[in-house]
Amino acid sequence: MEDARAVRRVDRLGVVLVTGGVAAAALMPFIIVKANRIAAGKPQLLTQLLAQPAALTLLVLLAATALAAIFLRSPLARLGIATLTIAFLIVTLGLVSTAATPAGSTVARITPGGAFWALLAALGLVISDALVKLQLTPWLRVASLALYAAILGGVLRSGLLDNLSIMKEYANNADKFWSEALGHVVLSLGSVAIAILLALPLGIFCYWQPRIRAVVLRALSLVQTIPSLALFGILMLPLGYIAANVPLAAAIGVKGIGVAPALVALVIYSLLPIVANTVVGLAGVDPSVRDSAAGMGLTRRQILTGIDLPLAFPVILTGIRIVLVQAIGLVTVAALIGGGGFGTFIFQGIGQTANDLVLLGAVPTVFLAFSSAVILDAVIDSIRGQSA
């Protein structure tokens, strides 16, 4: 009986995360010191850096977090310990990268190793698990995201990470980075906005016309099976023809390459989740509510705008959330046809064998997608809470 109680007191997720973190710290490099941006580099384990006070302190904090993740039952205490540790993990990365950079060198590069990314992911999951168990309100979750983003922003602005190769890549591409970031956001949000304008009426029509619904959903599902790069290529020919033969289209920026085929492809990819969720949301409205509204003399349009859409909105918004996260990821591929965005750095880095330039595009893309998902999840939960 005592053994059974002891097993219940051990957090199984914590055991898995701690096991993975220990394996990563023991077997994978914490940093990689390279003579230049394309050199192979010399890996250094966290245990090889223990002569530095920051690395030793980090190891102590990691041990404390491991014990908390496995044995501590209070989610608030877990959250506090893991937050302190993840902040010091980033600080330690900056300190050891500064110490590893040769004096006076402008070409040496320090890259975060696999152990850093694995520990960052494990600590992030510990924090996420604690936040879930705290059952925060939707907007407190958004506030938590803002707090962690502010901590990261403060570390970046302090200059502590300036010796990391990704920050040197940023310094060399600062103006271009922000212009591509704006392009990435505009293309993602623009494609989703256009998709909503097209898919919402189409979803309503499919709900009202069951015979047509199956045909439309099958056609949109078929589009989803086309690889994104192939769809971009397919659209280049007709859009190029239109640009060559329709002066007005060329004047507004329609071309065979660039933003135009990327925007059209993203809109096409975005239709299915919104149409399908609109149909599901409308189908989930209680028929007795519609019957009562009809009995009160409301027209079909009034029932749609006053009852059906408000009640179905959380489900529809779930589809929009899926579409937005998908679009943020697909915009990176659009860089191959001149669509811009963070994918520009990813493919430039691949072409130049510069992994840190790849990270300059990949890391903000992941952060943007994750932040969008958290914010829209909060909006959905808030709306559901108000209608409950």
Residue 6: what pLDDT?
43
Residue bearing the bigger pLDDT, 307 or 45: 45
Q: What is the pLDDT of residue 1?
A: 42
Kindly indicate the confidence band of residue 14, based on its pLDDT and cuts at 50, 70 and 90: confident
Q: Could you tell me the pLDDT band of residue 352, with boundaries at 50, 70 and 90?
A: confident
pLDDT of residue 3: 45
Specify the higher pLDDT residue, 333 or 228.
333
pLDDT in tens, 184-214: 999 999 999 999 999 999 999 999 888 888 8
* Domain-wise residue ranges, the chain: 2-135, 174-387
Residue 135, Ramachandran bin (φ over 0: left; ψ between -120 and 50: alpha; else beta): left
pLDDT tens profile 224-255: 888 887 887 788 777 777 777 777 766 766 77
Cα separation values, 270 from 330, 339, 374, Å: 11, 17, 19
Which pLDDT does position 7 carry in this prediction?
Answer: 46
Look at 62 and 239; give whichever has higher pLDDT.
62
What is the pLDDT, as a whole number, of residue 4? 44
Is 280:346 a contact under the CB 8 Å cutoff? no
Residue in the structure block whose two tokens are 């300036």: 162
What pLDDT is attached to residue 179? Answer: 92
**What is the per-residue pLDDT for 194?**
94
Looking at every residue in the chain, the average pLDDT score rounds to 86
Q: Which has the higher per-residue pLDDT, 296 or 272?
A: 272
Instruction: Look at 70-79, 91-100, 316-325, 332-341 and tell me which has the smallest mean pLDDT.
Output: 332-341
pLDDT band of residue 366 (cuts 50, 70, 90) is very high
pTM above 0.75, yes or no: yes
| Radius of gyration for the chain, computed over Cα atoms and rounded to the nearest angstrom | 25
Domain 174-387 has CATH 1.10.3720.10: yes
Band (291; pLDDT cuts 50, 70, 90):
confident
| Mean pLDDT on 324-353 | 88
> What's residue 294's pLDDT?
79
Choose among 63, 75, 28, 120: nearest CA to 367.
120
B/e letters for 333-366, b = 16+ CB within 10 Å, e = fewer, are: bbbbbbbbbbbbbbbbbeeeebbbbbbbbbebbe
Question: pLDDT at position 264, please?
Answer: 87
The model's pLDDT over 69-111, given as tens digits with 9 standing for 90+, comes to 999 889 999 999 999 999 999 999 999 998 888 777 777 888 9
Helix axes 138-158, 114-134, angle to 10 degrees: 150
* Predicted pLDDT at 237: 78
Q: With 90 as the cut, is the pLDDT of residue 38 above it?
A: no
